[in-house]
Amino acid sequence: MIKLLWRFLLLVLLAAGFAWIADRPGTLTVRWLGREIEMSFIAGVVLAVLAVVAIWFVWSLFRRLWSSPQAVGRYWTFRKNRKGYESLSRGIIAAGAGDAVAAAKHAAIAGNSLSDEPLVNVLAAQAAQLKGDRASVKRIFEAMTKSPDTEALGLRGLFAEARQSGDIGTARRHAERALALNPRLAWASTAVLQLQSAAKDWSAASATLAQQVKSGLLPAPEGNKKQAAMLAAQALALEDSNKPQALDLALKAHKLDPALVPAAVVAARVLVSQASQRKASKIIKETWVVSPHPELADVQAHLLPADGPDARYERIRDLLKEDKGGLEGAVALARAAVKAQRWDVARDALKPYAENRPQARVCALMADIEEAQGDKGRAREWLARALHAPRDPIWVSDGVASPRWTPVSPVSGEIVPCEWKAPFEMPEQLEADVAAAPAAMQSVAIAAPPKAIEAPKMVVPQRPPDDPGLPEDFDAPESGARKSLPADG
């Protein structure tokens, strides 16, 4: 609309100009080469305009003729590029559909037409992968690493090839090079972190985690928890060889994540070895409030290794003043009471958890209490219940049970610290256990009393698909990364 208005305005101006000239007649005389040409002024203006138009037309024609070879070349280049891009598009579609022959064919056509197009190398690599030509794939990705525009893509391809062939060292080098090239590459950062964790290179993994948080690839709260897990793993590895450094790492981990049991346990054990019982107890209590665990209670009980069972029992009671700790607190108090021969205290502590389907450790403790008080029949009954009781808590990461705390998932290789919980049990397995318990107790009651009662090993039920269970020789489900402590006096 605006263009039409401008054109109309231009015509009006031209018409007004010619009308103004027509209202003012005059003559125009041109003398050139001995000749004299006389005409009206308006005719001279018209001839001048026509002359300008003619000169413009001749110049345009000459320019077109002069540039015609280049125009023909550009036309053929355009056709060639269009054909190349069509082949590139069809090749990508063929590669996505899994047609290796068509993908290779279109990759060759696109390569002849588009020598400088990075996507041609991508298509050629995909076609070679579909054909299983690993040598060509590696050669293409190596060529891509020589260009700044495709270096990161080539490194990712080389990383995938090295990992697939089992060359972990080469894969790590490619991932580290890509990460140095761009710290915000999520795949490179994740791959480097997984490989460092798998190699138990906790110091390097900690640095990579810090870089992830700094680059915005990981939220700060999640990064702090994972960083604490790395520091705790380093502290566990150095506890025997370098106690001061282990203490420093454990305290840093405890500050980042007070709920992390291994960090608190390592810090408390080192402080106990340095005769700093008060600091050790403070750290244990801070973690116990948010994450009760048998190892915390064990370290608290042995703050003074030379003390007897009564002193250890009192320290457990002192720990439970901060927080009862639920089942973990009851079990810790019952164990300390049993060792101090305070049978009534142990029974009262376990009473709220001894009904319905108590865990195996509760059944074993109740059997010890009944046997100590002379009721061997009740003791055998509790041992029978322990055979079919729900399994005790253990360190579990991604559905895999482990006798020790680990910061890395055995399934994905990512930093997923273990959780202290009971392994998964199938509903049909629970029903079978309930049905089998009365028959087992009846058979124990009929049998003749043996001369000595031996606590049987825990029978692990058939495990579900996501829980591989424990080794057969593992008899202490409550132990994690705990070191051996002095025997009771």
Other residues' Cβ atoms within 10 Å of the Cβ of residue 149: 9
Quote the CA–CA distance of 375 and 356 in Å, as a whole number.
21
Q: Is residue 90 part of a domain?
A: yes
Question: What's the pLDDT score for residue 179?
Answer: 85
Domain count, the chain: 1
DSSP string covering 269-317: HHHHHTT-HHHHHHHHHHHHHHS--HHHHHHHHTSSTT--HHHHHHHHH
| Domain extent at residue 57 | 15-113
CA dihedral of residues 241, 243, 246, 251 (deg, nearest 10):
170
* Nearest alpha-carbon partner for 461 in 418, 422, 406: 422
* Nearest alpha-carbon partner for 415 in 249, 162, 189: 189
* Nearest alpha-carbon partner for 273 in 242, 295, 296: 242
Q: Is residue 63 part of a domain?
A: yes
Collapse the DSSP code of 466 into the 3-class scheme (helix H, G, I; strand E, B; otherwise coil) and give the result. coil
DSSP code for 149: T
Work out the angle between the directed axes of helices 186-198 and 151-165 (0-180°, nearest 10). 30
* Nearest alpha-carbon partner for 309 in 180, 467, 488, 463: 488
Q: pLDDT band for position 430 (50/70/90)?
A: very low
Residue range 233-248: average pLDDT? Answer: 90
> pLDDT exceeding 70 applies to what percent of the chain?
83
Query: What average pLDDT does the chain have?
Result: 78
Quote the CA–CA distance of 268 and 148 in Å, as a whole number.
52
Question: What's at 289, amino acid-wise?
Answer: V
pLDDT in tens, 94-114: 877 877 788 777 777 776 766
Q: Is residue 325 part of a domain?
A: no
User: Per-residue b/e over 362-377, b at no fewer than 16 CB within 10 Å?
Assistant: bbbbbbbbbbeeeeee
Q: pLDDT band for position 485 (50/70/90)?
A: very low
Q: Is residue 397 part of a domain?
A: no
Any residues with CB less than 8 A from the CB of 349 and at least 6 apart, and which? 330, 333, 334, 337
Q: Is residue 308 part of a domain?
A: no
pLDDT in tens, 268-318: 999 999 888 899 999 999 999 998 999 999 999 888 877 888 899 888 888
Quote the CA–CA distance of 124 and 315 in Å, as a whole number.
70
DSSP alpha helix (H) spans, 148-242: 151-165, 168-181, 186-198, 202-215, 220-238
**417, HSE (Cβ side, Cα atoms, 13 Å):** 22
Q: pLDDT band for position 77 (50/70/90)?
A: low
Question: What's the pLDDT score for residue 479?
Answer: 36
Quote the CA–CA distance of 57 and 53 in Å, as a whole number.
6
421 beta partners: 394
Which pairing describes strands 35-40 and 27-32: parallel, antiparallel, or unpaired? Answer: antiparallel
Query: Is pLDDT larger for residue 75 or for residue 26?
Result: 26
Question: What's the pLDDT score for residue 267?
Answer: 93
pLDDT for 141 beyond 80: yes
Question: What's the pLDDT score for residue 271?
Answer: 92
Q: Is residue 103 part of a domain?
A: yes
pLDDT for 262 beyond 50: yes
pLDDT for 247 beyond 90: yes
402 beta partners: 395
Residue range 197-204: average pLDDT? Answer: 82
Q: Is residue 255 part of a domain?
A: no
Q: pLDDT band for position 115 (50/70/90)?
A: low
Q: Is residue 51 part of a domain?
A: yes
pLDDT in tens, 345-401: 888 888 888 888 888 888 999 999 888 888 888 889 889 888 888 888 888 888 788
pLDDT for 451 beyond 80: no
pLDDT for 214 beyond 60: yes
Residue range 229-244: average pLDDT? Answer: 90
